[in-house]
Amino acid sequence: MRHFLRQHHHSLREFFKFALVGLLNTGVDVALFSLLVWLGCAYLAAQLVSYTCGAANSYLLNKAWTFRSCGLSYREMLRFAVVNLVSLGISIVLLALLHDQVGLGLAAAKGGATAGALAANFLGNKLWVFR
């Protein structure tokens, strides 16, 4: 029982660290997305660039701090890229659906798209990338 509680406490701590890193990544993503759209970039292209920058930040911080994964591993980097490509795909589809089909404003659609990709990203990172 003690091992079970310790393991779940550890996972909960990892999730909160992941969430804090995620807030920072989201800040990078939203700030860059807003800047690019303001500069006249198409919103889906802006999403691709801003998400990629947030993902790079995510890899570095989650590797070193959240999951404490050591060393350079090309397998880990490839897995991280796959998880983030899936999450990017989810966010782009949701962004387009929420903005173009549902009619939400760009900020609300961006928020929904970001929230929609979070669970898949955490599970992919915890269970496959940084296990």
Distance CA 44, CA 50 (A): 10
Q: Which two tokens stand for residue 112?
A: 């929904």
Distance CA 51, CA 17 (A): 19
pLDDT digits (tens, 9 = 90+) for 76-121: 899 999 999 999 899 999 999 999 999 999 999 989 998 888 878 8
pLDDT digits (tens, 9 = 90+) for 39-61: 999 999 998 999 899 989 998 99
Count of domains observed in the chain: 1
pLDDT digits (tens, 9 = 90+) for 58-76: 989 988 898 888 777 889 8
Confidence grade of residue 1 (pLDDT, cut at 50, 70, 90): low
Domain containing residue 103: 2-129
Distance CA 112, CA 99 (A): 10
Looking at residue 101, its amino acid is Q
Distance CA 65, CA 55 (A): 15
Q: Which two tokens stand for residue 27?
A: 């800040």
